[in-house]
């Protein structure tokens, strides 16, 4: 049994659906960030699958830039979440309004 690009696309769609479902259902900011990262990795898997199918490196280059942006998002986002959770240990996503100046 050969693994084709369609298997990767189905896996990517499943990962994206799991991430979007978790983002809509959960209210914990850390879990929401993990769901966003899961969705970004699903898109990266799609880029790599199409890049491999087309024999082009453009998709892999896009993955590199998505990973750089995701790393910057994690640095900034986690610092905000940690600041919020230090202030209120049982904080939810609705409590981000308390960080306004």
The domain that contains 85 carries what CATH number?
1.10.287.3510
Full residue range of the structural domain in which residue 95 is found? 5-99
Helices (H) and strands (E) in the chain, counts: 3, 0
**Stretch 29-41: mean pLDDT:** 90
Q: Above 90 in pLDDT, residue 24?
A: yes
Domain total in the chain: 1
pTM: 0.83
27-62 per-residue burial string, b: 16 or more CB within 10 A, e: under 16: ebbeebbebbebbbbbbbbbbbbbbeeeeeeebeeb
41-89 pLDDT, tens digit per residue, is 999 999 999 999 999 999 999 999 999 988 998 888 888 888 878 887 7
């Amino acid at each position: 049994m050969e693994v084709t690009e369609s298997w990767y696309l189905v896996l990517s769609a499943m990962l994206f659906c799991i991430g979007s479902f978790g983002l809509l259902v959960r209210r914990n900011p850390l879990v929401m960030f993990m769901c966003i990262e899961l969705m970004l990795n699903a898109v990266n898997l799609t880029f790599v699958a199409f890049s491999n199918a087309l024999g082009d490196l453009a998709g892999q280059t896009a993955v590199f830039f998505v990973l750089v942006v995701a790393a910057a998002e994690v640095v900034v986002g986690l610092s905000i979440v940690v600041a919020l959770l230090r202030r209120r240990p049982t904080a939810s996503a609705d409590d981000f309004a308390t960080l306004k100046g």
